[in-house]
Amino acid sequence: MSEYVLQARNLSKTVAVADQQLCILHELSLSLKPGDSLAIVGRSGSGKSTLLGLLAGLDLPSSGEVLIAGQSLAPLDEDQRAALRAREVGFVFQSFQLLDSLTALENVMLPLELKHRKDARQRARDLLQQVGLEQRTGHYPRQMSGGEQQRVAIARAFAAEPHILFADEPTGNLDSQTGERITDLLFELNRAHHTTLVLVTHDERLAQRCARQIRLEAGHLTEQS
């Protein structure tokens, strides 16, 4: 069993644009242990979201490989990668991506029900209580503020107890005060569940709260701390 929960080895991504090959990401390598926190920073177009998608197995690299919990994604087909993500990975998106037709409780229950957890309802209630939304379990996304929706999204992401949580601009659509509360919550849950946290962010304050930071420029790793 690998000591690393997430590894990237010489990861590159190239796409065809107007009969030319555009290299979006250049031979990047990194390794993360359980409980680590990493911020991926850089200007728009630097390759941050591309890297996140490759690390999460949502996209395939042109060369190199990604390993999640010691399992290389390279030999897996789309269904096998999806099954691995369901076991190991959670996501928090800038746009929340809650299902409008489901209540807060039902949104958090969904990944648990997909795993056939008999305690799905109680587990979802407990998580919503952890994020301070025990009074909002029966509300639909349209009835909640942006900050409340993001808290539901975080509770949903942690519901299946992922080993890795990927967050793409988790505070990008929130005001600074709400964003700070969401940041506190992410790191509280990270510590409580010993979940490895990988963030893409433009927010330098958020990035500085991570134990490690990498900076991308035009797909190149230019700084690591």
- Side-chain half-sphere exposure of 149, counting CA atoms within 13 A: 20
Task: Tell whether the model's pLDDT for residue 212 goes beyond 60.
Answer: yes
Task: Tell whether the model's pLDDT for residue 52 goes beyond 80.
Answer: yes
- pTM of the predicted protein model: 0.87
Structure confidence by residue, pLDDT tens digits, 188-204: 878 888 899 999 998 88
Task: Tell whether the model's pLDDT for residue 102 goes beyond 90.
Answer: yes
CATH match for 36-46+76-219 among 2.170.150.70, 3.40.50.300, 3.50.50.60, 3.30.160.250: 3.40.50.300
Structure confidence by residue, pLDDT tens digits, 108-137: 999 899 888 899 999 999 989 988 899 999
Distances (CA, A) of 35 to 3, 149, 154, 188, 205: 12, 25, 17, 12, 20
Task: Tell whether the model's pLDDT for residue 1 goes beyond 60.
Answer: no
Give residue limits of the domains in the chain: 36-46+76-219
φ and ψ at 122, to 5 degrees? -70, -40
The residue ranking higher by pLDDT, 10 or 177, is 10
Q: How many CB atoms lie within 10 A of CB 51?
A: 27
The sign of the dihedral angle between the CA atoms of 14, 15, 20, 22 is negative
Q: Starting at the earlier edge strand, list the strands of the sheet with 63-68.
A: 20-32, 6-17, 63-68, 71-72
Structure confidence by residue, pLDDT tens digits, 59-96: 999 999 999 999 999 999 999 999 999 889 998 887 88
